[in-house]
Structure formats: structure tokens, C-alpha cells
Amino acid sequence: MSKLRYSSWASGLRKSDIAEFLRLAKEPGVLSLCPGVPYPGAYPTEKVVEVTSSLIKNNPEAIFPYGNPQGTLRSREAVTYRMKKRGASVSPEHIVMTAGSQNACDMVLRMIADPGDTLIIEAPTFLGVLDSIKNWGLNLVEVPIDNDGIRTDVLKNTLTQLRNKGVKPKAIYLMSNYHNPAGIMLSRERREELPQIAEEFDCFIIEDDAYSELLYDDVDQTAVKAFDTTGNVIYLGSFSKLVSPGFRVGWAVVPEELVQTWNMCRPMFDVGSPTLNQELIAELHVDNWLDGHIATLIEGYRSRRDAMLGALEEFMPKGVTWTRAHGGFYCWITTPGNVDHDSLFKTAAKNKVMYFTGNFFYLDNQHHNHFRLCYSRPDVDVIVEAVKRIAIALKEEMAK
């Protein structure tokens, strides 16, 4: 890419790597556990056709003109219902509708952070956000996660060290549920602790909960936002995985002060999100229709998750470990340190199977003893065969 014609942000993207992965994954006979997208049957096609045409015919005034930049009232009311399921009681006045949660994150960061500001991120973290902010000129500081989510002990030490140097981070970006890529969940204890840490160090928490409600086991998924008594937690949610990523509907729950700033900035960002898509989402809440749909999705994803865990158990060589996701789309695999992951990836590609290597999810692009497997899209038999092929490649690499 010519440095003269493009911004340093665009020129610095690792776009080519990911694009190459996705191109290879589409080659004939290749099984892909790469993209975190719904399985084809997950989309509520008939219901959407019915609801969309009725909305356009019966309420064109709610659809065609410019809408409220904060989002339609009906869609924000639908979000209050969804937030109650996460244990958080919020009013529509504190909700901003967006074109997905990544768009929400982008707008939030544009409002709170300047180049040179410090932002805490998890290691590993979601590559979509990582890639988008890497070249903004922010000072990104990684804090590791374990099986219970972000390590709050390390977080407090990091924040204290930064404070001693006169640095006050603007925000801590983290995932509370079904972490992408790690497949883990924050423990209840840490969920309760995090708003206190944010208060003590005077920074925001940006809680990204893009897979909200896709929970397959009986575990606590109360949002960090539910424990926020001081207004430091910004919650990001999405209908991408509950309805369709193509509709681009997500939301943010933000403190009063930020709502006002956001409403002022919105005409300069994108003027607002598409009203038809928001009203469609609102309409899917009538008679709790969406709850029934989510229950069907949970069945579909749980069977895929179980197939992956079963195949990992059956085929993976000794010494390899993985996370047992309670929800979401991902398993995170850890190999013994002597495995060369560049070579493993090539051997797997020869075996016609694709996945995302772990380095994508770290700031320095260097952590080489992990990879991410996604079970959301393929059918169960494909998942089993793909894991088997990866295990064969891994055995070959471990024997070197």
C-alpha cells in the first residue's frame, strides 16, 4: 500500500494477513474454523420478511426520514429488556443505538481518548478492536487474562505503576462473557471488583458483551454493568449474533454525561444508525418472539460447542490444552512451548484445514503457543473432521 496515498492508520493495518487467511479458507475442500459468524440456518429469514414489509407498509414515517441519532425509542426499550437479562436495570435514556458493538466501541473511543492517551486492553483481546485502534497513536497496555477473565491483581498493579508515573488510563477494554478468542468468562468476584477499580483509578471500563445471551451452561453471566454504582462502566451489546451481523444493530449503555456528548457528536460521526434495522429489532421483541429464537440458537450452538469439545478430547495429542467455553463461539488452544506455529499452520493448510493463529490477538503479534478454533458456522461433522485434521498436523509438528 502506498504510504503517500493512505493514512498511517490504513497503511499500518495487518489487513493482508487476515484477508489471506479468509481467501485460503474459501478454497475447495478446505475446512475452516476461522470466522466467528452464525451458521446459515441461524438467520430468521421468514420472520424478517414478514416484519420488514409490515413495517414499511404500516409505518413509513418511522422508517424513511432521518431518525433520532440516539436510536428509536422502541429499539432502546427492547434493549432495556435485554439488559434486565444481564442483571442491569437501565433506562432507554442511557442507551445509544449503534451499527453493531464495534461501531459503538469506535465512537466511544473517539469521544474519550486522544492520541497519546493510555488504554488498557486484555492479552489476548478481540482482533477487530485491536486492529482498529493499533495505529491511533494510543499507548496500549496489555493485562493478561486467566480462566476467570482479566487478572485484576495485575490490573491493579499496572494501574498503580502508571499512576506513580503520572499516567491515568482513559479506559479498560475487556470482554465479560465468552471471550473472543479465549472462550472464558469473568468470575463473579472480578465482575464485582472491576467497577471499584475503575472508581479508584478514575477511568472507564468498556465492557464488550457482543455474544450476549448465547450461554449453553448454567453459569452466572451478570454484566459488570450490573455492579456499576458510579457510572464508570460503558456496556456494549449487539444483535449481530442474536439476529444477524448484516443488519448492523448494536448498542451502548452509557452514563448520562456521555449520552449528552454522544448526541452532540453523532451528527458528525454517522448521523445515526439505520432506523429500519432498529425498528425490525424492536418488532422481533413483540410477544417475546426473539427469546424463542435465541433458545433455538442456543441449541444449535451448544451442539456445535459439544462436538468441538468431544473432538478435542478424542484427537488432540497429550500436552495440548483448551478452554471449555460456556457460551459464545470459541475454544482457545494452548500447545507445548516447542511447537513452531508457523510450521503448524502450513502443515494444517496442507491438510486442508484453517484456523486463526494466536498471534493475531496480541499487541506484539508474537505469542506463538495458542490458536483459536471457532465452532459457530460449520456443521457438526465438519467440526469433528476439522479438529481431527488439526490434531494430525499438531502430532506431526510435536514429533519434529
Ligand X SMILES: Cc1ncc(COP(=O)(O)O)c(C=O)c1O
Residues lying near ligand X in the complex (CB under 6 A): 36, 100-102, 126, 128, 175, 180, 208, 210, 238, 240, 245, 250
Residue 395 beta carbon to ligand X: minimum distance, rounded to whole angstroms: 30
| CA torsion angle 123 198 81 300 (round to 10) | 10
Residue closer to ligand X (CB basis): 38 or 389: 38
Residue 112 beta carbon to ligand X: minimum distance, rounded to whole angstroms: 18
For 286, which DSSP code? G
Q: Which helix (H) or strand (E) holds 300?
A: helix 289-315
Residues 6+ apart with CB under 8 A from 2: 11
CB 19 within 8 A of CB 349: no
Q: Please name which of 171, 102, 181 lies closest in space to residue 138, comparing C-alpha atoms.
A: 171
Q: Please name which of 37, 34, 35 lies closest in space to residue 211, comparing C-alpha atoms.
A: 37
Strands 118-123 and 95-98: unpaired
Residue closer to ligand X (CB basis): 126 or 216: 126
Residue closer to ligand X (CB basis): 36 or 327: 36
Residue closer to ligand X (CB basis): 191 or 389: 191
Residue closer to ligand X (CB basis): 38 or 195: 38
Residue nearest to ligand X (CB): 100
Adjacent-strand bridge partners of 356: 372
Q: Please name which of 193, 126, 125, 128 lies closest in space to residue 155, comparing C-alpha atoms.
A: 193
Residue 369 phi, psi dihedral angles, 5° rounding: -115, 25
**Residue 51 to residue 14: CA distance in whole angstroms:** 39
Residue 318 beta carbon to ligand X: minimum distance, rounded to whole angstroms: 31
DSSP labels for 36-82?
----GGGS-HHHHHHHHHHHHHH-HHHHSS---TT--HHHHHHHHHH
Residue closer to ligand X (CB basis): 70 or 351: 70
**Residue 53 to residue 31: CA distance in whole angstroms:** 37
Residue 173 beta carbon to ligand X: minimum distance, rounded to whole angstroms: 10
Q: Per the structure block, which three cell numbers stand in for 35? A: 470466522
Residue 175 beta carbon to ligand X: minimum distance, rounded to whole angstroms: 5
**Residue 166 to residue 78: CA distance in whole angstroms:** 42
Residue 165 phi, psi dihedral angles, 5° rounding: -95, 5
Residue 17 beta carbon to ligand X: minimum distance, rounded to whole angstroms: 17
Residue closer to ligand X (CB basis): 233 or 394: 233
Residue 245 beta carbon to ligand X: minimum distance, rounded to whole angstroms: 5
Residue 104 beta carbon to ligand X: minimum distance, rounded to whole angstroms: 8
Three-state DSSP class for 397? helix
Residue closer to ligand X (CB basis): 240 or 357: 240
Residue closer to ligand X (CB basis): 180 or 275: 180
Residue 380 beta carbon to ligand X: minimum distance, rounded to whole angstroms: 21
Residue closer to ligand X (CB basis): 354 or 393: 354
Residue 396 beta carbon to ligand X: minimum distance, rounded to whole angstroms: 31
**Residue 369 to residue 355: CA distance in whole angstroms:** 14
